[in-house]
């Protein structure tokens, strides 16, 4: 029997912590204002955890994705969690998820770190693992408590990020699936390093990341279009990492595509790193924006500097 080598998303889910932090709220603690943040980024608010742990959000998002997919969880063959801020160095968030959801024990469960590109990496890894598995499905989660690693005195970073989790249940399929993954080995542009006796913070050269994204994302989209043989005009929806509305607008312009094909929800959640694309997919599905057979291009980019994109058919 030939193994199917495409990948299909069967169900999606998300968890957004209830606590909202508006731009005005931030302007009370750091020298910024709603006008600057919303015109430079498109972000109006973000959500921060209060008591939720990373794993609590991951579990909630994965439960919703399992329910949405309607599958038997005993047939899950891999559990992959993308995150840069796990609750513990070890055990992984994925193992906590496995325990809580009572997933099978004879399957790989692990976390990956490819920053904001990691959910895209996770989908590709899931496909590879399922091709060698006797089980049908995989769960891929992107989950971040970035508020834990923000320097609330640095207006260049603290206004950008938010917390949340998104998840997908996938299976091998005849639906076409192509991925483009990469990394530049760049250590300085965005970092969050361990320092003795100091809290860890994200630091970033924003304009370098901006330029990297505007240069790289269109290239990844073009590679995916070439691999799939599907032109940009034939793509129904572009779902890019939700970092900055101006980045998405610049990519749309370079690809000569109308902005209406690019989903945007960063105004509500800010940049949730690896969670941003699965949160976007969940919201699109909830809002009836995803139809069976739809052709989609998704691209993430971030620290590393990494990038990851997929062509998928719903």
Active site residues: 116, 241, 271
Query: In what order do the strands lie in the sheet containing 295-302?
Result: 177-183, 306-313, 295-302, 237-240
Question: Which listed residue (74, 207, 231, 287) binds ligand UT7 by CB under 6 A?
Answer: 207
Looking at residues 235 to 264 of the shown chain, list those that interact with ligand UT7 (rule: CB under 6 A).
243-244
Q: Give least dist CB 246 to ligand UT7, A.
A: 7
- Determine if 104 is a binding residue for ligand UT7 (CB under 6 A): no
Stretch that binds ligand UT7, among 29-37, 63-71, 175-183, 290-298 (CB under 6 A): 29-37
From 36-44, 122-130, 144-152, 217-225, give the range in contact with ligand UT7 by CB under 6 A.
36-44
User: If binding means CB under 6 A, how many residues of this protein chain bind ligand UT7?
Assistant: 19
* Residue closest to ligand UT7 (Cβ): 206
CB of residue 80 to ligand UT7, shortest distance in Å? 20
Peptide linkage before 91 cis (omega within 30 of 0): yes
Among 20, 22, 38, 40, binds ligand UT7 (CB under 6 A): 40
Q: Alpha-carbon distance 51 to 58, whole Å? A: 14
Cite the DSSP H helix spans in 102-239: 118-130, 206-228
Contact 253, 247 (CB under 8 A): no
Q: Give the Cα-Cα-Cα angle 128, 130, 135 (nearest 5 degrees).
A: 165
Residue 278 contacts ligand UT7 per CB under 6 A: no
Q: Using the structure block, give the residue that is written with the tokens 């920053």.
A: 115
φ, ψ of residue 206 in degrees (nearest 5): -55, -45
Q: Contacts with ligand UT7 in 137-166 (CB under 6 A)?
A: 155-156, 159
- Pseudo-torsion of CA 69, 70, 73, 74, nearest 10°? -130
* Binding footprint of ligand UT7 on the chain (CB under 6 A): 32, 36-37, 40-41, 116, 155-156, 159, 190, 204, 206-207, 209-210, 243-244, 271, 302
């Amino acid at each position: 029997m030939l193994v199917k080598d495409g990948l299909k998303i069967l169900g999606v889910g998300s968890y957004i912590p209830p606590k909202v932090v508006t731009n005005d709220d931030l302007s009370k603690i750091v020298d910024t204002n709603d006008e600057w943040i919303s015109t430079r980024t498109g972000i109006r608010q973000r959500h921060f955890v209060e008591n939720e742990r990373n794993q609590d959000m991951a579990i909630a998002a994965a439960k919703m994705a399992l329910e949405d997919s309607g599958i038997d969880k005993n047939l899950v063959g891999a559990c992959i969690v993308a995150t840069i801020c796990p609750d513990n160095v070890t055990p992984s968030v994925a193992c906590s998820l496995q325990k809580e959801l009572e997933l099978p024990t004879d399957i790989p469960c692990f976390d990956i770190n490819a920053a904001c590109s990691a959910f895209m990496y996770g989908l590709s890894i899931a496909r590879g693992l399922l091709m060698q598995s006797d089980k049908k499905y995989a769960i891929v989660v992107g989950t971040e408590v970035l508020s834990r690693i923000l320097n609330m005195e640095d207006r260049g970073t603290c206004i950008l990020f938010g917390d949340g989790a998104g998840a997908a249940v996938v299976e091998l399929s005849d639906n076409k699936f192509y991925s483009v993954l990469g990394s530049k080995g760049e250590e300085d542009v965005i970092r969050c390093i361990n320092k003795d006796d100091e809290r860890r913070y994200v630091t970033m050269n924003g304009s370098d990341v901006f330029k990297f994204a505007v240069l790289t994302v269109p290239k990844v989209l073009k590679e995916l279009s070439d691999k799939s043989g599907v032109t940009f005009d034939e793509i129904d929806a572009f779902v890019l990492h939700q970092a900055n509305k101006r980045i998405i607008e610049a990519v749309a312009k370079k690809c000569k595509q109308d902005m209406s094909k690019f989903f945007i929800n960063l105004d509500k959640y800010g940049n949730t790193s690896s969670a941003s694309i699965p949160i976007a997919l969940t919201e699109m599905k909830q809002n009836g924006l995803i139809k069976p057979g739809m052709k989609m291009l998704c691209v993430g980019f971030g620290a590393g500097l990494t990038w990851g994109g997929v062509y998928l058919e719903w």
